Amino acid sequence: MAEQGLEGSLHRELGLTDEEYERICSILDRKPNHLELAMFSVMWSEHCSYKSSRIHLKRFPTEAPWVLVGPGEGAGVVDVGDGIGAAIRIESHNHPSAIEPYQGAATGAGGILRDIFSMGARPIALMDPLRFGPLDDPRSRWIAEGVVSGISGYGNSVGVPTVGGETVFDECYTGNPLVNVLCLGVLPVERLVLGRAEGVGNLAVLLGSTTGRDGIGGVSVLASAGFSDEASDADKRPSVQVGDPFEEKRLIEACLELLDSNLAAGVQDLGGAGITCATAETAAKGGAGMDVMIAPIPQREPGMQPFEVMTSESQERMLAIVEPGNLEAVLAIAERWEIRANVIGIVTDTGRLRVLDEANGEVLADVPAKALEQDAPLYDRPRSAPADLDQRQADSANSLDAPSDPGADLIAMLSDTSWVSSQYDHMLFLNTVEGPGGDAAVLRLKHPSTGLDTGRGLALTTDGNHLWGSVDPYRGGVMTVAESVMNLAVVGARPLALVNCLNFGNPEHPEVMWQLSESIDGLSEALLAFGIPCVGGNVSLYNESRGTDIDPTAVIGLLGVVDALESPPPGVRLVEGSRLLLLGHTDPELSGSAWAALQGHRGRGRLPEVDLEAVASVADAVRDLVIAGLVQGAHDVSSGGTAVALAEMAVRSGVGFTAARLADHSDLFAESSGRAVLCIDPEKLREVLDLLEERGIEHSRIGVAGGNRMSVKGQFDLGLDEVTASWRDHLPDALGSGTVQG
């Protein structure tokens, strides 16, 4: 084995520090060669090893009796009853999407699908929380259009419906969009598989696409550094992989057939860090070793170096661990689905990951599998609150002038995102009871093997609020969980499990590490209070552009269950003649609100107080009222406050409202947690009020639905048609203004 010739330069080029290089030398008890160094560099990258965040992630509560698989595997899995497990995961593909929006977003969807079916689950839904720079920036529009086309092109073709998500435009994402993708799958509990290489002599079979030079160093060069200037960012474009949804579709069907037929002891997806990661992880987790051969790996072009083959992130590949006796059957299934299948490795008992040029050939690399997977350095990076925190907290948005025209501010905060969701198949599999545009998606729950309808439903929401995070990442985390819980309550669902995608700036900035740590503690406090386990997560760091970090953006996905799905949820709507109730306590604090941001006030003041016990009782009451069929329309109150909640219910249903008891702009636009607007049939009103009074739930009768005006006494009186047109046309008009490729 040739040792590294240019000591001290190569490891830095590969993104390793001098200390990390020393650590590798001490693990191997010699200097690593080029291939070994490349393998360590991808496995120890921030993206794969979570070296800056792992010590903080341990603080998430992760246990509950229904958790089958917690964080650390391909996906979290919870028992949802009737012998069905639900597998869920969320990931980011922020940096690839910044420089190659279509492929970046497409391969983000592809990667997370493989995580789900590698657990033995059939993917049944995608969600895509998206955040872009402002709509008046042509390059941000180019990114937004490309990302949406990429998700549409890949998700639709691969045959998994995209049932919801978020679309946010804000100046802090200029140059560094956030493209998060969540996937939900279902599996018969007995088919649950984990990526393990057990059984000496078992074969590692590489399934799917050829291995090319695309995506080399994607995790280390691209995902684990920020963006600087445009010229060098364009140079990074070849680090982005190219997706093929048809290959993925056949791979899904073939892998699920392998697992159905008990032909694979384990399957593992090839994502970041490619074959190195898949082989090291399966070997290390199975307590085994593996010999990997380069020659039988189908290569897309001649002349590829072993380090390229081992670190390529070519898409649509899976690794199956197969007993030799089952190989023939595995190859037959692969042939039926027209995917490649090649034996590229064998499980050993050495605990070492060895790379050979061919069977019994030259040993090109020889490292402990565990060292790659588990011995990455753990950093407790310096963290500190912003130096001007006290000063910022003293500047409350409540000292801003009251709006002269609250109606105009309201209209500025309304935007229909169906331009995005109409490009996604959101109905496939005949599950989608509530699709994009609702507070949470609601899916019929059918048994994945028999197809039998359980009569129950799964509910899913993704939420994040960077404006809250920039004021107070801790309480922002608490409020985000509270929002998700309320989103589930309005569709009649109770929460089961959470996944998170923590999008933050450069971890080498102490303020960013403080944000991350605070955010994790805030999320955890709320999870403990609601009794919700965290079953997985993803940390995306280095989200910065030209030295400026994004606002802290903790995105969460919350999975819930609807115990009896007999009719569709009430939905975000009003019904002519019905009564409007506002549930929950309004703290008039405006700092961190969308209204304050509209006035240019952001990142300052303090967020509203949150009483988690009160939030839980409101959510319980809302859920119970919805399940009892006493609610005709329901919407949680979050970004934009009560005014935006009412307005969205009106424009979605084409029914106006006349409201009162919203005395000032704080009542209209404050975003305190644990509130919902309900639309109630006058004949059911007494019953609803009795229940609320009995439970001591704070509530206010704020008006009546009906007519073609949207009016709040003393605040605004707007024509429904005019507001509807502005809401509907906002996004298409802005995106129709043309784009500029970065």
Partner 1 sequence: MATNVAVIRFPGTNCEFDVVEVVQQLGAQAQIVFHDEPSLGSADAVVIAGGFAHGDYLRPGAIARFSPVMEAVASFAQSGGPVVGICNGFQVLTEANLLPGALQKNAGLKFRCGFTELRVENSNSVLTSEAQVGDILSIPINHFEGNYTCSSETLAELQGEDRVLFRYVTNPNGSVDDIAGICNEGRNVVGLMPHPERACHDLLGSRDGIVLMSSLLRAAGLNAGVPN
Q: Catalytic residue numbers?
A: 47, 93
Give the other-Cβ count within 10 Å of 346's Cβ: 18
Shortest Å distance, C-beta 423 to partner 1: 5
Shortest Å distance, C-beta 564 to partner 1: 12
Shortest Å distance, C-beta 425 to partner 1: 5
For partner 1, give the closer residue by CB, 257 or 687.
257
Q: Which residues of 573-602 are buried (b: 16+ CB within 10 A; e: fewer)?
A: bbbeebbbbbbbbbbebbbbbbbbbbeebb
For tokens 């050829």, what's the residue? 210
For partner 1, give the closer residue by CB, 257 or 521.
257
**What are 427-434's contacts with CB under 8 Å, separation 24+?**
427/161, 428/159, 428/160, 428/161, 429/124, 429/161, 431/124, 431/125, 431/161, 432/161, 432/163, 433/457, 433/565, 433/568, 433/569, 434/459, 434/491, 434/568, 434/569, 434/571
Cα separation, 307 vs 361, whole angstroms: 16
Structure tokens at 730: 């906002």
Shortest Å distance, C-beta 502 to partner 1: 31
Shortest Å distance, C-beta 159 to partner 1: 3
Taking alpha carbons only, the member of 263, 266, 247 closest to residue 195 is 266
For partner 1, give the closer residue by CB, 161 or 476.
161
Q: Show Cβ contacts of residue 347 under 8 Å, excluding neighbours closer than 6 positions.
A: 197, 198, 199, 200, 201, 202, 203, 204, 283, 286, 288, 289, 290, 321
Shortest Å distance, C-beta 327 to partner 1: 22
Q: How far is CA 498 from the centre of its chain?
A: 10
- Give the SS3 label for residue 425: coil
For partner 1, give the closer residue by CB, 433 or 554.
433
For partner 1, give the closer residue by CB, 400 or 735.
735
End-to-end Cα separation, the chain, in angstroms = 43
For partner 1, give the closer residue by CB, 459 or 478.
459
Sign, CA torsion 48/51/55/56: negative
Shortest Å distance, C-beta 157 to partner 1: 5
Give the other-Cβ count within 10 Å of 396's Cβ: 16
Shortest Å distance, C-beta 251 to partner 1: 11
Shortest Å distance, C-beta 700 to partner 1: 32
For partner 1, give the closer residue by CB, 91 or 247.
247
Q: Which residues bind partner 1 (CB under 8 A)?
A: 152-153, 156-157, 159, 244-247, 249-250, 253, 336-338, 418, 421-430, 432-433, 444, 451, 565, 567-568
Contact 195, 277 (CB under 8 A): no
For partner 1, give the closer residue by CB, 61 or 437.
437
For partner 1, give the closer residue by CB, 382 or 568.
568
Q: Show Cβ contacts of residue 114 under 8 Å, excluding neighbours closer than 6 positions.
A: 248, 251, 269, 270, 271, 316, 318
Pairing state between β 676-680 and 494-503? unpaired
> Residue 666 forms beta bridges with which residues?
none
For partner 1, give the closer residue by CB, 567 or 741.
567
For residue 22, what is the enclosing H or E element? helix 18-28
Compute φ and ψ for 484, nearest 5 degrees: -65, -40
Pairing state between β 548-549 and 341-348? unpaired
Cα separation, 460 vs 443, whole angstroms: 8
Give the other-Cβ count within 10 Å of 295's Cβ: 13
Cα separation, 734 vs 732, whole angstroms: 6
Angle between helices 720-735 and 641-653 (to 10 degrees): 90
Shortest Å distance, C-beta 435 to partner 1: 9
The DSSP result for 661-706, as a single string, is ---SHHHHH---SS-EEEEE-HHHHHHHHHHHHHTT--EEEEEEE-
For partner 1, give the closer residue by CB, 434 or 525.
434
Shortest Å distance, C-beta 152 to partner 1: 5
Side-chain-side CA neighbours of 298 within 13 Å: the count stands at 13
Taking alpha carbons only, the member of 44, 33, 10 closest to residue 219 is 44
For residue 232, what is the enclosing H or E element? helix 230-235
- Eight-class DSSP state of 477: H
For partner 1, give the closer residue by CB, 245 or 592.
245
Q: What is the largest CA-CA distance in the chain?
A: 84
Shortest Å distance, C-beta 418 to partner 1: 8
